[in-house]
Amino acid sequence: MILSSFRRLFLGLLVATFTLSFSSRLAADLVWHPDTGWRIDGGVLSGLSGVEGRNALELMNNARRAEERGNLSSAIKTYNKVVKRYGTSIYTPEALYRTARLYLERKQYNKAFDSFQNLVTRYPNTPRFNEIIGEQYRIASALLDGARQHYWGWLPGFPDRAKGVLYFEFILLNAPYSDYAPLALMNIARGHQKLRNTYEAIDALDRLINTYPQSLLTADAYLQLAKTHASLVDGPNYDQESTQEAITYFQDFMILFPGDPNVGTAEDGLDRMRTVLAQSKINIADFYFEKRDNYTAARVFYNEAITVYPDSEIAAHARQRLAEVDAAAARSQPDAGDGEAAAPAPKKKRFFFF
């Protein structure tokens, strides 16, 4: 029983290994020569036979010759016929690759990216995987930086930075453990910042920090997170959640990367955020002190201002205000030297005559 299970497992692994090695050799065994056309080397079969095999090979040769003549539109159409008609043959990955390259040459960035995506989705073991991810990265970067998609290969359209952000998300899914993954997240954050999608930028930076803590980009992600939260701060009179988040990330950056050349920038940002937060505490304390005569609440918030930034001028101001609170509280108490309050006069007795 155990031996039989082992044999089945061994045979399954053997078949899987053969299949993977076969699929990975497809593109490598298809060779082009201007005189002879496309040729299959290494004893690998095309996946087609008879008339179908001859027709597929003829289409591939026609497409490549049109490509070399500079007739890119005709070459693309012919390669697409190969993909559509002979999708399981050895010619398909090469046709998809050549099509993507030609679209890229015509600055049809969307179609180029889609063709590359189709290739890595259908043939994830292609030996060109790293090259394709690199090309997709360059396409996404170009669109994010304002490159114009060309329609029909000659008519420039409008910049589409949102499409660049979307393509970086695809790269992240295609190669989550590659060197491109943290770069993609950093560019996603950069793109959302350009598009004024601040919270989406924060999400991308947070994903980078949590998923790739050992990346060389992690330090910059911490600093960018702090700066992005700081950009949401409206001043001491408003909600301070973003201020506190910015303080946290500035402090984390300085603790985790003490030798980073941007520590000075982080110190300046931390100073600004702590000043805003401490001033917000003073503003609340002033309200309780001046408007409500609530000395207990005023003391709490003045002390919180000191705690937030103890060595600052704003902390010195809070200490001065605490002294004023103590003086006002003392004045509001009854004078102990006056003795006990006089007892109320007794009521006069009334006499009733009948």
Give residue-wise pLDDT tens across range 190-222: 999 999 999 999 999 999 999 999 999 999 999
| Residue 275: exposure state from Cβ atoms within 10 A (0-12, 13-18, ≥19) | middle
DSSP 341: P
Between 26-35, 71-80, 176-185, 244-253, the lowest mean confidence (pLDDT) is in 26-35
Specify the residue for token string 């490159």.
147
**Residue 294, domain member (yes or no):** yes
Domain interval for residue 248 = 217-330
pLDDT tens digit string along 290-317?
Answer: 999 999 999 999 999 999 999 999 999 9
Hey, what are 109's tokens? 């960035």
> Which residue has better confidence, 25 or 103?
103
CA 336 to chain centre: 66
What are the structure tokens assigned to 293, written together? 């005569």
Distances (CA, A) of 37 to 40, 58, 77, 91, 293: 10, 9, 18, 13, 93
Residue 9's pLDDT band (boundaries 50, 70, 90)?
very low
* Rounded Cα–Cα distance for residues 43 and 283 (Å): 82
Residue 209 domain-assigned (yes or no): no
For the chain, how far is it from start to end, CA to CA, in angstroms?
A: 122
At residue 55, does pLDDT exceed 80?
Answer: yes
Which residues make Cβ contacts (< 8 Å) with residue 148, sequence separation at least 6? Answer: 107, 156, 157, 158, 159
Q: How far apart are CA 228 and CA 242, in angstroms?
A: 9
- The per-residue pLDDT for 35 is 81
The highest-confidence range among 1-5, 156-160, 277-281, by mean pLDDT, is 277-281
For the chain, give the number of residues. Answer: 354
The structure tokens listed for 273 are 């955020």
pLDDT (0 to 100) of residue 44: 58
Q: What is the CATH number of the domain that holds 326?
A: 1.25.40.10
Is position 91 within any domain?
Answer: no
Q: How many domains does the chain have?
A: 1
How much is the pLDDT for 154?
Answer: 84
User: Cβ distance 124 to 178 under 8 Å?
Assistant: no
- Distance CA(121)–CA(250), nearest Å, equals 40
The answer to whether residue 284 sits within a structural domain is yes
DSSP assignments along 239-286, one per residue? --HHHHHHHHHHHHHHHH-TT-TTHHHHHHHHHHHHHHHHHHHHHHHH
In a domain, 172, yes or no: no
The answer as to whether 28 is a domain residue is no
Report yes or no on whether pTM surpasses 0.85: no
Per-residue confidence band for 255, with pLDDT thresholds at 50, 70 and 90: very high
pLDDT value of position 30? 87
Has residue 296 been placed in a domain?
A: yes
Residue 336: inside a domain: no
